[in-house]
Amino acid sequence: MIKPRLQFLFVLLFLPVVLTMAQQQYPKTYFRSPVSFPVSLAGSFGEIRRNHFHSGIDIRTEGVQGKPVYAIADGYVSRVNVSPGGFGKALYVTHTNGYTSLYGHLRNYAGAIGSWVKAQQVKKESFAMDVEVPEGTLKVKRGDVIAYSGNSGASGGPHVHFEIRDAKTQEIIDPLNFGFMKADGIPPMITWIKIFPFGDNAMVNFSDKAVLIPVTGSGGTFRLKMADTVKVSGNIIFGIETSDHAEGGLKTGVHAIDLTVDGVKVFSQNIERFAFSETRYVNSLMDYPAFLQNGRKIQRSYVAPNNKLSVYNDVKNHGVVNFTDTKAHKIQYVVKDAFGNPATLVFYVRSHPQANTGGRQKPSDHAGDQLFSYKTDNHFERSNLKFEVPAVAVYDDLPFEYSVTPPVFGSYSGVHHLHNQYTPLHTYCTLSIKTDNLPKNLEPKAVIVAVTSGNKFTSRGGTWANGWITAQIRDFGNYTVTVDTEPPVIRVINIFPNKKVKKQSSILVKISDNLSGIKTYRGTLNGKWILMDYDEKNRLLTYAFDENMKPGKNLFVLTVTDAVGNASRYEAALVR
């Protein structure tokens, strides 16, 4: 066996990153479970997802909706959020011990809570609402049924999304810290290692390309499938794909990752709690191109200069390791799940300061059309384009690349190629495009669109003024201008004019829009607004009959408007 040695050098590219996160103690018995059956996870806290960490746990509900959801302790309802997407119907309860619990993707609210929510919706004449509830308005006791489980919002199946937050800081904390599940003894799995050359003179196995290496093992002990020592030279970043396989083989996220080189810790992260404002930094933590290309969740042991995540500890030189000698070095990863079960991977690299450069491509002569700085705001302009990129939008200095190609069918500008889709943007940037030959009558209908494969358009909205249209975008890619002149589509499911509806209890309608998206909808019965539940993922409006549906003939009218003002109207007399 090759003996590990302590002879390696960290290149001082940046000031050392040393962030501390004191391990906190949480009450283990204060809260009861939000459900009456054993907690089984469909998703864990801190899982790596595009644009966000998963902010709670997803509790399985045996594949059905309508399971009672309970208040986990005494407190009061402090916020109600009803949305066609996101958490759907969500409820926040603030407790007397300084924590707030959140219950999402609910089917409906129970008792007095449900009555209060409906009264607010009727008052505002809006299904969607996000309301802070005055303390004392809706008090709850431990064990009260406060709602019923569902599949509302951006949910892929029936479950309860459950969170615990620090009521003062609003930081989100892993609910498993509070004893909601019995600890298991199953360690995480490690499936891949990725080694990245960092800079023009760095190499892995004599190439300037990153190397993805499969891992094998079980029972918490892992090794590379390849037998040979990996050859490296210069500045190197390591990455790991790992997951917890509790719950009958379900892959969920891990809590902690430590990386040591020759016994010296160079990187550590612990996703035990984080602020909601931090969640998009996940795009900097992971190997973003690999995630987009094949869904692989490689977590990089690297902290970019503009990555403000608070989950890192003891990070030296942002995680960049410089290998300049000819010796072998021991690389060790230790991964732990929420219950502290460890998994260890050990492998070796050998550095070659005089490595053969034949496999390395020459640095590109094209260093970008403009360098975007992570320290200052950036402005990029051409005769037919303006692009404002705040400093906080990029994680590191970026050689921004731009080109423009002729218009495609249906567009009113060239196609502007803004860098590439494999580089993430952290926040919104302002994009303005000058239009070409846009008829005056179509100016209010113009939108900026992202152009994807097959010249498909996805609207990013926009406001037209003085020959330019301006929108906020949050992704690099290809953009042009088109117009939306088609009104939304209304497709009724269980009604038609003069239908007798005495034997049914609801009206079901599907609504959709071809481009700019649904902005508003309004349903009335006999001229009076009615509450229509909107399930955005299924494009479904549902009106459950209430006191507004009278005996005899009722006139139902639905108007749907898209983001540029195109409107559709449906009406039918219904007999009850």
Domain 489-575, CATH 3.40.50.1950 — does that match?
A: no
Q: Give the architecture-level CATH label for domain 57-173.
A: Distorted Sandwich (2.70)
DSSP 312-375: EESBSGGG-EEE-SS-EEEEEEEEE-TT--EEEEEEEEEE-TT---TTSPPPPS---SEEEPSS
pLDDT at 245: 77
Whole-angstrom distance, CA of residue 59 vs CA of residue 264: 39
Question: What's the rounded Cα separation, in Å, for the pair 383 and 381?
Answer: 7
Kindly report each contact of residues 37-43 with a partner whose C-beta sits within 8 Å and lies 24 or more positions away, as own/partner: 37/62, 37/67, 39/180, 39/181, 40/247, 41/181, 41/246, 41/247, 41/250, 41/252, 42/157, 42/159, 42/250, 43/159, 43/252
Asked if the 189-351 domain carries CATH number 2.70.50, the reply is yes
As a whole-number percent, the residues of the chain with pLDDT over 70 amount to 92
The sign of the torsion formed by the CA atoms of 277, 280, 286, 291 equals positive
3-state secondary structure at position 546: coil
- Summarised one tens digit per residue, pLDDT across range 361-392 is 444 444 689 999 999 999 999 999 999 999 99
What does the domain layout of the chain look like in residue ranges?
57-173, 189-351, 370-483, 489-575
pLDDT in tens, 173-198: 999 999 988 888 899 999 999 999 99
Mean pLDDT on 137-155: 97
Contact 360, 208 (CB under 8 A): yes
- d(Cα 572, Cα 561) in Å, to the nearest integer? 19
Strands 328-336 and 221-224, sheet pairing: unpaired
Between 544 and 43, whose confidence is greater?
544
Mean pLDDT for 110-126 is 97
Diameter of the chain by CA atoms?
90
Q: Which CATH class is domain 370-483?
A: mainly beta
**Termini Cα distance of the chain:** 83
What's residue 367's pLDDT?
64
What pLDDT sits at residue 23?
52
C-beta of residue 130 within 8 angstroms of C-beta of residue 81: yes
pTM for the complete prediction? 0.90
> pLDDT tens-digit profile of 456-515?
999 999 999 999 999 999 999 999 999 999 999 999 999 999 999 999 999 999 999 999
